[in-house]
């Protein structure tokens, strides 16, 4: 990444996001929450980082050829990051997404030159609530298109570049920005790349840092909690399926957040901190607040604000 003040393309401004002390939402609690504002990336989410890393690693390995098409399954954020990187670098990009994800994401990807293929949800899946079953249908279509077009599959759930983006950059930035004063890191389980990458980076500096994985209360998969409803509102994760990139030995413990908690805290972030973010960011901060009220009273907690509230205007998040 270049440090000059003039960039040759918008892909070079991905990363180096600011960190903010959430002092208003934590009023009266012992401890601190430090939030990395990933929604200030050009595609308004942390997934810009993996879009860039996966494409550049593929280029360096010689497995992505000039003019080749790139295909990926996405809830919208990885697709937006890839659309940005592909348009700047000259690749065609096809995003394959469930119809259960918010409309803004598809519109944004199309505006960025992507071809967007929308896949019907499984029977009985409510709009706005994408399950692992819905994702499996999207995966089938993504595989089919990749084969038909002899495309490069970005494969965020399996590509090591997803971990590297956060291990080499996000986690290192967190460490520097807090002067290493970190007790806890937590993240909502999407693909598992942010959790694994940041946990690895932070534990290299201090192996005592405790790392928590956040799951939807009704759709936990990794903890011992019994799932009660696989359809939940926290878009972009909680798919109740095996995540190949998640390194379970890095997990100190599992935390659970309800739809209502994630929604309430996302709204409070906007009202109290001026941070306009989506459901999973609400889930991260809700989980951090629970820790400060319980087992991690007095701790310094770092987390990411994953994406912008602008991506949820068609949902009930800010109605």
Catalytic residues: 47, 280
User: Which residue blocks in the chain are alpha helix, DSSP H?
Assistant: 47-61, 77-89, 103-111, 132-148, 161-164, 171-177, 193-205, 259-268, 279-293
Beta-strand pair 19-21/32-37: antiparallel
Query: Hey, which residues does 92 pair with through a beta bridge?
Result: 69
Distance between CA 23 and CA 33 in Å, rounded? Answer: 7
CB 174 within 8 A of CB 182: yes
| Widest CA span in the chain | 57
Could you tell me which residues are beta bridge partners of residue 36?
19, 304
Separation in Å, CA 119 to CA 1, 19, 228: 36, 36, 25
What are the φ/ψ torsions at residue 14 (nearest 5 degrees)?
Answer: -70, 135
């Amino acid at each position: 990444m270049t440090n000059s003040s003039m960039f040759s393309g918008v892909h070079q401004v991905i990363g180096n996001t600011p960190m903010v002390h959430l002092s208003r939402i934590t009023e009266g609690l012992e401890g601190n929450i430090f939030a990395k504002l990933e929604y200030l990336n050009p595609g308004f989410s942390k997934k810009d980082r993996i879009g860039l890393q996966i494409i550049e690693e593929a280029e360096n390995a010689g497995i992505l050829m000039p003019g080749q098409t790139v295909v990926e399954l996405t809830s919208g954020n990885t697709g937006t990051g890839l659309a940005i990187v592909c348009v700047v670098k000259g690749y065609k990009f096809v995003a394959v997404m469930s119809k259960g994800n918010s409309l803004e994401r598809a519109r944004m990807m199309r505006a960025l030159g992507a071809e967007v293929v929308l896949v019907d949800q499984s029977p009985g899946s409510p709009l706005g609530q994408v399950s692992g079953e819905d994702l499996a249908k999207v995966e089938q279509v993504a595989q089919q298109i990749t084969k038909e077009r002899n495309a490069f599959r970005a494969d965020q759930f399996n590509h090591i570049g997803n971990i590297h983006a956060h291990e080499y950059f996000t986690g290192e930035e967190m460490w520097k920005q807090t002067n290493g004063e970190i007790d806890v890191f937590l993240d909502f389980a999407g693909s598992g790349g942010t959790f694994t990458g940041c946990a690895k980076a932070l534990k290299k500096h201090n192996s005592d840092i405790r790392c928590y994985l956040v799951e939807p209360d009704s759709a936990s998969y990794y903890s011992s909690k019994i799932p009660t409803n696989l359809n939940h509102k926290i878009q972009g994760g909680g798919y109740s399926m095996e995540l190949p990139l998640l390194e379970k030995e890095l997990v100190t413990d599992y935390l659970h957040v309800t739809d209502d908690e994630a929604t309430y805290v996302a709204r409070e972030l906007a009202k109290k901190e001026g941070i306009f973010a989506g459901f999973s960011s609400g889930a991260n901060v809700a989980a951090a607040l629970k820790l400060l009220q319980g087992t991690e009273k007095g701790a310094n907690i770092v987390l990411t604000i994953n994406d912008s509230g602008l991506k949820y205007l068609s949902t009930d998040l800010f109605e």
